[in-house]
Amino acid sequence: MNMEKILEVKNLKTYFTLKSDKFGAEPEVVKAVNDLSFDVMKGEILGIVGESGCGKSTLGKTILKLNHKTDGEILYHGEEVFNLNDKDLKDLRKQMQMVFQDPFSSLNPRKKVGSLLAQPLQIHKMGSKQEIDEKIDRIMKEVGINPVYKGRFPHQFSGGQRQRIGIARALMLNPEFIICDEAVSALDVSIQAQVLNLLLDLHDKYNFTYIFIAHDLAVVEFISTKILVMYLGKIVETADKKELVKSHLHPYTKALFDAFPATNPKGRENRDPVLMGDVPSPINPPSGCYFHPRCPRAMEKCKMEYPPLREVSPGHKVACWLYE
């Protein structure tokens, strides 16, 4: 693999200040992304996993400057995303695309698929009408949708087909980096596998770099080359996928693996929730290690002090006092 560093996130924080209803009360602060650092190499598929509310979407949006950042750095090819001028930010958003759970919820439901696919190219003034038409046909084929259907509306397609069209829309601008946020989460397990395989085929063909965000470890494990486990805005463990599957150290990572045992999302059946209790609020996270109230192995120290993220073997980092 080409080891060019494409994205570097350093001590990134995104906090949201909530207005308090109580007169004179201190505003509450949600630390959605709380001091994250990681790199993404070209061609890598970085899976980001964690329960709902742990800050995954906020992280994805902040990387594309669709959110503010409170502190830290986001370097894309060595350039701080938040320092880009309008033209360079527009270029960045060509190179970096985002695919959401329901890619059409934000788009005009009265527009046909063909014109929804043409839109990004028209916005960026790329190509003649004929070139755009040819590209739509080629990319629809590439994602497994017959181009004769470009005259249909999004609601006339199944969920899996709609997600393929969402991927096609992301491909229209020839990106090099795609952030998938819960891109297969709404689909049936068998359809999930098909869309994941499509993403993998595209990755192999174009050497795309992905950040693949999901609350479901089975899909993250299926597609990723590297995994980052988040809990309440923080990284609790990260390693290459193969390493993490062999040796998951953090009790939270272990709980996720116990809850979602199958590698292939197709082979997954009754998964029973091993994790007890809800994710605590990121407004007032627990003292010490944020996971300690739910941790079966919590010690006295865990209630007092947040553990640092330590490298336990090359590329494998864990934030847990058990591995001090």
Binding residues for Mg ion (CB under 5 A): 57
Shortest distance in whole angstroms from residue 182 CB to ligand ADP: 8
Please name the residues in contact with 51: beta carbons below 8 A apart, sequence gap of 6 or more. Answer: 215, 231, 275, 279
Q: Which is nearer to Mg ion, 139 or 220 (CB)?
A: 220
Q: Which is nearer to ligand ADP, 32 or 180 (CB)?
A: 32
179's enclosing H/E stretch is strand 177-181
- The 202-221 site mask, x for binding ligand ADP (CB under 6 A), equals --------------------
The full DSSP string for 53-104 is TSSHHHHHHHHTTSS--SEEEEEETTEEGGG--HHHHHHHHHHEEEE-SSTT
The full DSSP string for 92-156 is HHHHEEEE-SSTTTTS-TTS-HHHHHHHHHHHTT-S-HHHHHHHHHHHHHHTT--GGGGGS-GGG
Q: d(Cα 19, Cα 39) in Å, to the nearest integer? A: 34
Shortest distance in whole angstroms from residue 16 CB to ligand ADP: 3
- The 54-93 site mask, x for binding ligand ADP (CB under 6 A), equals xxxxx-----------------------------------
Side chain identity, residue 72? G
Q: Which residue of 120, 251, 282, 307 would you call a contact of ligand ADP, by CB under 6 A?
A: 282
Is 232 an interacting residue with respect to ligand ADP (CB under 6 A)? no
Q: Which is nearer to ligand ADP, 41 or 259 (CB)?
A: 259
Shortest distance in whole angstroms from residue 53 CB to ligand ADP: 4
Q: Which is nearer to ligand ADP, 56 or 169 (CB)?
A: 56
Q: Which is nearer to ligand ADP, 261 or 280 (CB)?
A: 280
Shortest distance in whole angstroms from residue 56 CB to Mg ion: 5
Q: Which is nearer to ligand ADP, 32 or 145 (CB)?
A: 32
User: Residues 221, 248: contact at Cβ < 8 Å?
Assistant: no
Degrees, nearest 5: CA angle 104-105-109: 70
Shortest distance in whole angstroms from residue 273 CB to ligand ADP: 17
Q: Please name which of 303, 267, 275 lies closest in space to residue 288, comparing C-alpha atoms.
A: 303
Site for ligand ADP, residues 26 to 55, rule: CB under 6 A: 30, 32, 50, 52-55
Give the DSSP letter of residue 288: S
Q: Where on the chain is the footprint of ligand ADP (CB under 6 A)? A: 16, 30, 32, 50, 52-58, 282
